[in-house]
Chain A
Amino acid sequence: MSRLTRRTFLGAASSVAALAAMGRPAFAQGAQIRHFWWGNPDRDKRTFAVIDMFNGTHPDITVSGETLGFDDYFTKLTTQIAGGNMPDVIQQGYGVLFEYIANGAVVPLDEYIGKSLDISKIDQSAIDAGTVDGKFYALSIGANSHMAIYNTRLFEEAGIVPGETFDPYGYTYDELAEFAAVIKQATGVAGTDDNTADYQNFSDFVGQKGALLFNEDGSYGATQEIVEEYWSTWEKIRNAGGTPPAQETAGLAGVAELSQQGIVTGKSAMTYLWSNQLVGVQGLVEDTLGAAMYPNTPDMIPGSIVQPSQFICLTRDSVDPVAATTYMSAFVNDLDMTEVLGLERGIPSQSDVRDALEAKLTPAEAVSVAFFDGIQGKTAALEPPPPSGANEIEQTFERIAVGVLLGERSIPEVASDFLNQARAILARA
């Protein structure tokens, strides 16, 4: 009710404004746009600075920013959907985006392309990733991949030299077990975080075993053998002494905050995250960080993917889609604004922006760019969008894998429990 009233009011207000200002761009006088994203302190600072720049150059549009940590972001968005007061522009990830599109919370952008929204310089692959059933919904902020982030000082102290004793783009789980134990002995810090309950690593592993996470028919792709082998692989690394104690890892299962990662708390020398998070993590630690791919099996089948890190989308509840898309367009195209944003949300999908940034990279950003060059040809093809329930399966994995860490049940038992629950979730979704 209140939404309708407000809309009607704004509608009336904007037609009056349009009449009063004939010949000016068709914005409502003083259009109010809300932009909502999940972030971290570094990202929030950059984004608010960009919003100030935009407001300074667009006197007829006022953008206000709202931000929350990842864990709370979708909760708040859910209540906003229910209340019919979603912000105009929201941030979305590859995982959940498609549920929002299917349910109509996010609306297509096609009618604004070439008018308020310029996508002429955006990579075709990024446009394809945001397109569903021939309609373009989601504007990619940048490209992303899985990245193992390591502490170069601890590696050096243990005598592990990237490029000689350690190939960041082609090491195996067995090699990881070895050098993680060496680091523990040399420095007292565990060589690697324990990924037993890490779904990102698990999904890569499924690819490395030549399977799909979700089959063509929508059924779950990981088999009993793959799940068992994954957990046994990490058990081997753990037993070799390369990880923090299992119970410590159990306490962190499902925790997404950067400040809690082993490499930040000083509990381990290597942590597994998304490549765009390198910049944020580097801001939290003194030592210089290095980048590597996730470990692989001896067969070296690619398992990591390159995918859009995040999108910005226009919501169903937007009060002024033209003003909102004007802002979205500047967010990905304006060279001054994108310079402030840097690579914090991934490698930009706009070619001019990439060229402009190249000259002014910070050391951490240079590591990111080198990493993207290094993984060329070593990644898997992007899988089709995940089905409904994928998010719940991920959380179920994180929850159940704790049983492996605490050793209360055998690996085969926990694996079949997980697969049964995954199938039940898909059947119910």
Chain B
Amino acid sequence: MLKFFRRNLAGYAFLSPWLIGFFLLAIGPILASLYLSFTKYNVVRPPQWIGIDNYVYMVEYDQRFWKALQVTFNFVVVSVPLKLIFALGVAMALDKGIRAIGWYRALFYLPSILGGSIAVAILWRQLFNYDGVINSVLGLFGIAGPYWLADPNYSLWTLIVLAMWQFGSPMLIFLAGLRAIPQELYEAAEIDAASPVKKFFAITVPLLAPVIFFNLVLQMIEAFKSFSGAFIISGGSGAPLDSLLFFTVYLYNEAFSFLRMGYASALAWVLLLIIALFTAIAFWTSKYWVHYENERG
């Protein structure tokens, strides 16, 4: 054992900045938040152990908890497929040898870098204001646009569009996946006079399945955790009428507006469990639709 360590000492030494960071800045706070989730803690006074009361209150009495879950689910269920379809479409368009493809890739990836920023969320708010750009453009066609941000029937859609706009990273991964599909398959299909639709569903989708699965899991987790857009656009409160009350926004409110750190920690753990559950479901169903080339069929 000692010998093993001595032999690998250099490796651990080089790893140590990351290891120290991981234990102090990740594992430490995670364990602390698990402990705090069983306490009543208002930051100023020391935490007070109350057992599972936070969790009981959440499930039995807290209407806004259920509302936040519902909003978040709606967002995940609608935005993730739309974003993936959009990303795949753009990737397929770029896959055809266009000139200056490097430029296009960079250009289409840009929103993913900018998209999570506060500045873009503020810009989004300006775009979708009642007298903002979107409604002005609609006005040119004689359409009176709605109050996108003040009407609970529309507000979530503005965020779904914002999420779709950040399609860059799944798009790049799709692009790599498309490049890996052997061209001979398409040529063979060509000889059999298969239609483009047929080629898409018989060749592209099955061979791309592992990449689709990877993107799906990644984007789903991302969507569950989504925060800054909803926070900025709703003015931090989930308004109007809690239609933008994302789970993370609610958690933030409980923690920082109402100083209920213990309860907010419990909310964070529930979110973690929900994400874990959905990821597990995705992995479990994947064996029915995702096939890897090196598997025996």
Contact = CB atoms under 8 A, between A and B. Distances in A.
Tell whether A pairs with B: yes
Interface of A: 71, 74-75, 78-79, 81-82, 99-100, 103-105, 247-248, 250-251, 253-255, 391-392, 395, 398-399, 402-403, 406, 408, 424, 428
Given A391-B258, A395-B257, A251 B240 contact: yes
A17 B240 CA distance: 57
Contact of B43 (A78, A255, A408, A424): A78
A71 B236 contact: yes
Contact of B259 (A78, A399, A403): A78
Closest 6 CB pairs of A and B: A251-B150, A103-B44, A247-B147, A250-B150, A75-B256, A247-B150
B151 interface: yes
A253 B255 CA distance: 21
Contacts of B57: 428
A104 B258 CA distance: 17
Contacts of A392: 257-258
A103 B152 CA distance: 38
Given A103-B44, A103-B45, A255-B235, A406 B256 contact: no
A406 B146 CA distance: 13
Contacts of B237: 254, 395, 398-399
A248 B130 contact: yes
24 contacts: A74-B257, A75-B256, A78-B259, A79-B256, A82-B43, A82-B261, A247-B147, A247-B151, A250-B151, A251-B130, A251-B150, A251-B240, A253-B239, A254-B235, A254-B239, A391-B258, A395-B237, A399-B237, A399-B239, A402-B239, A402-B240, A403-B241, A406-B151, A408-B241
Given A253-B240, A392-B258, 19 more contacts: A75-B256, A82-B43, A104-B44, A248-B130, A248-B147, A248-B150, A251-B147, A251-B149, A253-B239, A254-B237, A391-B258, A392-B257, A395-B257, A399-B238, A402-B239, A402-B240, A402-B241, A406-B152, A406-B241
Nearest to A83: B43
Contacts, number: 71
Contacts of B44: 81, 100, 103-105
A107 to B, nearest CB: 12
B81 to A, nearest CB: 29
Main SS class of interface, A:
helix
A103 B57 CA distance: 24
B215 interface: no
A375 to B, nearest CB: 31
Interface residues of B, number: 27
Nearest to A80: B43
Interface string B254-283: 011111010000000000000000000000
B126 interface: no
Interface centre among B42, B61, B238, B259 (most CB of A within 10 A): B259
A132 B226 CA distance: 43
A253 B243 CA distance: 14
Nearest to B257: A395
A390 to B, nearest CB: 11
B130 A103 contact: no
Nearest to A79: B256
Nearest to A316: B44
Given A399-B239, A402-B239, A247 B259 contact: no
B252 to A, nearest CB: 9
A132 B125 CA distance: 43
Contacts of A399: 237-239, 241-242
Contacts of B130: 247-248, 251
A268 to B, nearest CB: 15
Nearest to A389: B258
Nearest to B152: A406
B285 to A, nearest CB: 38
Contacts of B259: 78, 99
A420 B81 CA distance: 39
Contacts of B261: 82
A316 to B, nearest CB: 8
A91 B255 CA distance: 21
A398 B61 CA distance: 21
Nearest to B234: A254
A428 B261 CA distance: 14
Nearest to B241: A402
Contacts of B149: 251
Contacts of B239: 253-254, 399, 402
Contacts of B129: 251
A103 B42 contact: yes
A419 to B, nearest CB: 15
Contacts of A104: 44-45
A406 B258 contact: no
B119 to A, nearest CB: 16
A103 B130 CA distance: 43
A69 to B, nearest CB: 11
Contacts of A428: 57
B240 to A, nearest CB: 5
Contacts of A71: 235-236
A100 B151 CA distance: 36
Contacts of A100: 44
A81 B257 CA distance: 14
A82 B41 CA distance: 10
